């Protein structure tokens, strides 16, 4: 069986970190005897500015034929309204109904955590990914006048809330976590909070082996700084999940270390680092490719190859230990910085061992 991956490097640092990630992926797949075929797609700001094309509906259909999609990053100062990024990113998330945004927080080297005395972190933020404030419902009334009104609706459906909560309990069970913490703002947001509360405790009753507990989102943010070790699985809505996943990223060494997956079990899913396109660092060979590299590992794990993830994560751990890091981490570790390409090549070399190449591909890069 050949895994077919659609690769969208995107904008800014996206292409650099994606090249490194795919290099490491190819090395790991080769070593472990997994057939991987990469098709590269040039969706992003350049294509949008050149051709006026973001992600046409027929292209979304084509993406559905892959085993998985890998996305580097989107966002470009030449497109201030982020029109192309919204079309492509939300086009894929919503268009493929990828309702679970999975954002693990694993501390791969204790020196990377900015908090004192934290040696180990292993939890996951599960962010509802298809509704809430991101549903795009609302509008502007009397635009540009002194009476202007902007409304952004927070959509919470029973089905949408239930499936992400159920995903959280299944995730906990499958990975040996013993607790799920649901976080909302039900003390202030009565209607959405009511639906999340009722759904959470109803679903929780079906999983007596998993401890269910709750924190308001503001208290959760505080606890993530006070004692992040207490968390295992956190489940929350789209907006809160967005915010706390940047906090989670920093706990594990910054956005350069945070991978994520946009998942609908059983369907083609999309994997992207949590970080954005960081335009000011683009093309300088300074971006940290580790988030993208770990994201490629997550993709392989979700495709049924956990050994590929383990090989990739072990390479990242070894690189951190050896001080093979880009400048965002070099200062923290007290070493001199390596370039994006050089870190990628080192990681690929680390995972590469005996075994013939079974990796093929088309397109540029």
Known catalytic residues are 134, 185, 218, 242, 246
Query: Total number of residues binding ligand IPM (CB under 6 A)?
Result: 3
Question: Distance (Å, rounded) from C-alpha 133 to C-alpha 156?
Answer: 9
Whole-Å CA distances, 252 to 113, 114, 120, 242, 255: 5, 8, 10, 16, 8
**272 counts as binding Mn ion under rule CB under 5 A:** no
Binders of ligand IPM in range 258-297 (CB under 6 A): 274, 276
Smallest distance from the beta carbon of 129 to ligand IPM, in angstroms? Answer: 8
Smallest distance from the beta carbon of 242 to Mn ion, in angstroms? Answer: 4
Whole-Å CA distances, 317 to 31, 51, 60, 251: 18, 42, 35, 16
Smallest distance from the beta carbon of 290 to ligand IPM, in angstroms? Answer: 17
Residue 182 or 278: the one with the smaller Cβ distance to ligand IPM is 278
Residue 132 or 337: the one with the smaller Cβ distance to ligand IPM is 132
Binders of ligand IPM in range 127-186 (CB under 6 A): none
**242 counts as binding ligand IPM under rule CB under 6 A:** yes
Question: Distance (Å, rounded) from C-alpha 35 to C-alpha 5?
Answer: 11
Residue 26 or 242: the one with the smaller Cβ distance to ligand IPM is 242
Length of the chain: 365
Question: Distance (Å, rounded) from C-alpha 117 to C-alpha 358?
Answer: 44
Asked if 143 and 162 touch (Cβ cutoff 8 Å), the reply is: no
Q: ∠ at Cα 301 (298, 307), nearest 5°? A: 115
Smallest distance from the beta carbon of 126 to Mn ion, in angstroms? Answer: 14
Whole-Å CA distances, 175 to 122, 169, 362: 11, 10, 35
Smallest distance from the beta carbon of 176 to Mn ion, in angstroms? Answer: 28
- Give the contacts of 67 (CB within 8 A, at least 6 positions apart): 3, 4, 5, 268, 303
**76 counts as binding ligand IPM under rule CB under 6 A:** no
Q: Which two tokens stand for residue 79?
A: 């497109």
Query: Total number of residues binding Mn ion (CB under 5 A)?
Result: 1
**242 counts as binding Mn ion under rule CB under 5 A:** yes
Quick one: what does residue 220 bind among Mn ion, ligand IPM, none, with the CB cut-off 5 to 8 Å set by partner type? none
Q: Which two tokens stand for residue 120?
A: 């180990």
Asked if 308 and 254 touch (Cβ cutoff 8 Å), the reply is: no
Residue 242 or 301: the one with the smaller Cβ distance to Mn ion is 242
For 85-195, list the strands marked E by DSSP: 100-106, 122-128, 138-141, 149-152, 179-184
Residue 17 or 359: the one with the smaller Cβ distance to ligand IPM is 17
Give the footprint of ligand IPM on this chain (CB under 6 A). 242, 274, 276
Residues at the interface with Mn ion (CB under 5 A): 242
């Amino acid at each position: 069986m050949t895994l077919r991956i659609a690769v969208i490097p995107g904008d800014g640092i996206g292409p650099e970190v994606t090249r490194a990630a795919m290099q490491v992926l190819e090395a790991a797949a080769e070593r472990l005897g997994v057939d991987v075929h990469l098709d590269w797609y040039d969706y992003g700001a350049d294509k949008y500015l050149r051709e006026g094309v973001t992600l046409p509906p027929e292209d979304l259909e084509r993406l559905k034929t892959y085993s998985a999609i890998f996305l580097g990053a989107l966002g470009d100062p030449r497109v201030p309204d982020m029109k192309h990024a919204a079309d492509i990113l939300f086009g894929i998330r919503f268009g493929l109904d990828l309702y679970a945004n999975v954002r693990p927080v694993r501390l791969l080297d204790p020196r990377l955590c900015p908090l004192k005395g934290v040696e180990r972190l292993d939890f996951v933020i599960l962010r509802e990914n298809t509704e809430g404030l991101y549903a795009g419902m609302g509008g502007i009334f009397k635009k540009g006048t002194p009476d202007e009104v902007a409304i952004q609706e927070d959509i919470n459906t029973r089905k949408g809330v239930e499936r992400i909560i159920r995903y959280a309990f299944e995730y906990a069970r499958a990975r040996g976590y013993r607790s799920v913490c649901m976080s909302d703002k039900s003390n202030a947001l009565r209607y959405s909070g009511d639906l999340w509360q009722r759904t959470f405790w109803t679903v929780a009753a079906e999983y007596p082996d998993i401890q269910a507990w709750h924190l308001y989102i503001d208290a959760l943010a505080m606890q993530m700084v006070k004692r992040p070790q207490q968390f295992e699985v956190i489940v929350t809505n789209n907006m809160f999940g967005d915010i706390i996943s940047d906090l989670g990223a920093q706990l594990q060494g910054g956005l350069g270390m945070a991978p994520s997956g946009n998942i609908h079990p059983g369907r083609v899913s999309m994997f992207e680092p949590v970080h954005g396109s960081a335009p000011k660092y683009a093309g300088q060979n300074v971006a940290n490719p580790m988030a993208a590299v770990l994201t490629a590992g997550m993709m392989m794990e979700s495709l049924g190859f956990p050994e590929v993830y383990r090989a990739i994560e072990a390479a990242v751990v070894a690189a951190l230990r050896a001080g093979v890091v880009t400048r965002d981490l070099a200062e923290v570790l007290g070493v001199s910085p390596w370039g994006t390409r050089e870190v990628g090549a080192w990681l690929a070399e680390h995972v590469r061992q005996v075994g013939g190449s079974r990796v093929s591909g088309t397109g540029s890069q």
